Amino acid sequence: RAILKLLPSPLPPSLRTTPANLFQVLSRYPNDGIGQKVHQIRWREKAIGDCYWEVTRTKLKLGGTHGKVWGRLIWRGKPVSEHEERIPGTLKYKWSMGTS
């Protein structure tokens, strides 16, 4: 709690823990989130379980608010494709770490 008083208000995107666009979520982690599992919040709201993207490559710009992200989609526990692909909806939807 004491450290929160020292931080600016509002917190910069890199320090927030709330769901945000994919670039803001990945910019909080080392290596721009490569190797992390991320999911769209709406998947959890629709009770679509065990679905996530495994991030394989990133190109973040503008302080981690925009860029391009590639990964492999795991849908209901099974890989959709063996090759990495660009992740769609990076700015359009809210994202969080882990599986849905």
At 69-99, the pLDDT tens digits run: 999 999 999 999 889 999 999 999 999 998 8
Q: Who contacts 25 (Cβ-Cβ below 8 Å, separation ≥6)?
A: 19, 33, 38, 95, 96, 97
Q: Is 43 helix (H, G, I), strand (E, B) or coil?
A: helix
Are the C-beta atoms of residues 56 and 74 closer than 8 Å to each other? no
Global pTM reads: 0.80
Token look-up 């994202």 returns: 95
At 38-50, the pLDDT tens digits run: 999 999 899 999 9
